[in-house]
Amino acid sequence: MADVVAGFGVSHSPHAPEAVRKAGAGHPLVPLYARVSEAVEAAKPDVLIVFDCDHFSTFFLDNWPIFAIGVADRIAGPNDGTVMPRYELQGHAALATHIHRHCVRCGFDPALLQDFEIDHSILVPVHFIPPTQAIPIVPIFINGFVPPLPSSQRCRALGQAVRAAVESFPEPLRVGVMASGQFSLEIGGPKVAPGRRQGVPDPDWGVHVTELLRAGEYDALVAEATFARLRKAGNIGGELLNWIALLGAIGERKPSWIESQRAEGDGFAVWA
């Protein structure tokens, strides 16, 4: 039987690899990713499940799933032109298949994805968290961008179903779970900053989310994270659903470390 041994929450700006390359170790993202990296090293996961929102890179509007599970032995990218190194990761097709089947049996209907590449939203964290580069991944995609979004309750239940699937997997795997996403961000919509194509319209929401997570107030977070509230935090605010799915998978435990960047609308956390 496999176990969920740890959780990791991160953001994934596509500009980060170049910004950090130019700025060096003094860039504020460096210590944040380093902290997560140490936690991944310590948790020694055999496989990493990543809750992620695709940015119209793996999917397009011709076929846009609410939930999808990536089942493959090799998963490469980025496929969205992000300026960063290319990575060819291992997938964990056996666990991914098991999760897909389990989810369908228990009332979820995720799309099955078998021939695909992934974008910056998984590979920027992988870039900055070196131990993840050698761990097979299972990407689970949640629609956080194209209304109607799945509800926060549904996403938490998805995480719970994924946990149950992991616990019924016959091999004794140590499974890590990662959520990749912002708390507040607007790209290309009316809430962008003056003169820019993006902005953080609701930094206080990011801080509030961080406080609820720190306190383990997961029921309150799920109740507050309505579609209207996520939209107020920006048209990328739906990425919080990845974190909420992680909460479903991680159970009741509180994060062992969490820190937010108010002005960036994001946060980093570890459940060890």
Partner 1 sequence: MSVYALNKLCHRTLGDLAFRAAMQRDPAAAIAEYRLTPEERQALLAGDVARLYEMGVHPFILSFLTRYEICGLTAEVYSERIRKAHDPGEAAWT
Residues lying near partner 1 in the complex (CB under 8 A) are found at 55-56, 60-62, 80-81, 145-148, 186-198, 231, 235-236
Residue 53: CB minimum distance to partner 1, A: 10
CB nearer to partner 1: pick between 145 and 257:
145
- 88-108 per-residue burial string, b: 16 or more CB within 10 A, e: under 16: ebebbbbbbebbbebbeeeeb
What does each C-alpha distance from 176 to 49, 129, 150 come to in angstroms? 6, 13, 23
CB nearer to partner 1: pick between 14 and 206:
14
CB nearer to partner 1: pick between 80 and 259:
80
Residue 262: CB minimum distance to partner 1, A: 22
Give the rounded distance of the alpha carbon of 76 from its chain centre: 17
CB nearer to partner 1: pick between 64 and 87:
64
Place of tokens 């991160």: 10
Residue 59: CB minimum distance to partner 1, A: 11
Residue 77: CB minimum distance to partner 1, A: 13
Comparing CA positions, the residue from 103, 119, 120 lying closest to residue 68 is: 103
62: DSSP letter: T
Structural tokens at position 51? 């809750």
